[in-house]
Amino acid sequence: MPTDYARRLLSIERTAEGNAHLGWMLAFIAGATNAGGFLAVQQYTSHMTGMVSAAADGLVLGQHQALLTAAGALLSFLAGAACTAVLVNFGRQHRAHSIFALPLLLEAACLLLFGLMGAWLQGLQALFIPAAVAILCFTMGLQNALITKVSRSEIRTTHLTGIVTDLGIELGRGLYGRLGGEPVPVNSTKLRLLGGLLLAFAVGGVIGAWAFKAVGYAATLPLAAWLALLGAVPAWDDVDRLRAR
């Protein structure tokens, strides 16, 4: 990945184009992680709606293991989001240029840890699955909070309900005029952004599932390397600035 592009993608000064490119990239990674992770732990970990419902079912049905797993997943996602806020605010307070790179580097480390855990502990299902779910949910919370802060709450990457809803609204606006109603302007830029997020997540899901089926937990290594290389550029720039002082 060219270093100048990495700097623009994670620049403190945000642009609509930079937000879109970063969102598409992270949506792809979230889709791959969610689909590949499902093959490992039999749970989708990128969104919390199902986890809250699973916790409710576990509570009512007396399935304590399901309740604890779902509650742990929810808390892990929450912790990941909180961690991003801490890292971003820390970077801002110290006037770092890598404030958006730090959560990506931590996400890369989490994906690497998940891959290594799978190789070491996959025979110990009782230990591995809860730990793996917690790591994946923490990772997704970390990522979703990052793109939320970067885009000022305009973009989400780990779940598609809002994206598909907004996409349907924009398409409905255009359809209304074609059905004989008063023409309503359609935001083509927003359509492109939303369509790109949906496509990136879907393609990431297909590739993530295929890669996990083909090579197992090693499928996380390219994703971790991608994030690490992206985040390393602005982080290294800050190191050079500190050395120059």
Query: The domain 3-235 is classified under which CATH number: 1.10.3710, 1.20.1250, 1.10.3470, 1.10.405?
Result: 1.20.1250
How much is the pTM? 0.93
Query: Per residue in 28-63, pLDDT tens?
Result: 999 999 999 898 888 888 888 888 998 899 999 988
Q: Is residue 24 over pLDDT 80?
A: yes
**Residues near 223 by beta carbon (within 8 Å), at least 6 away in sequence:** 29, 32, 33, 108, 111
Q: Output the pLDDT for position 245.
A: 67
Give yes or no for a contact between 177 and 46, defined as CB atoms under 8 angstroms apart: no
- Pairwise CA distance, residues 105 & 229, whole Å: 8
The residues spanned by each domain of the chain are 3-235
pLDDT at 123: 60
> Residue 42 has what pLDDT?
85
Q: What is the pLDDT of residue 126?
A: 65
Give DSSP secondary structure letters for the chain: --HHHHHHHT-SS--HHHHHHHHHHHHHHHHHHHHHHHHHHSS--S-SHHHHHHHHHHHHHT-HHHHHHHHHHHHHHHHHHHHHHHHHHHHHHTT-S-TTHHHHHHHHHHHHHHHHHHHHHTT-HHHHHHHHHHHHHHHHHHHHHHHHHHTTTS---S--HHHHHHHHHHHHHHHHHHTTSPP----HHHHHHHHHHHHHHHHHHHHHHHHHHHHGGGGHHHHHHHHHHHHHHHHHHHHHHHHH-
Please report the pLDDT score of residue 84 as a whole number: 96
Cβ-count burial of 180 within 10 angstroms (0-12 exposed, 13-18 middle, 19+ buried)? exposed
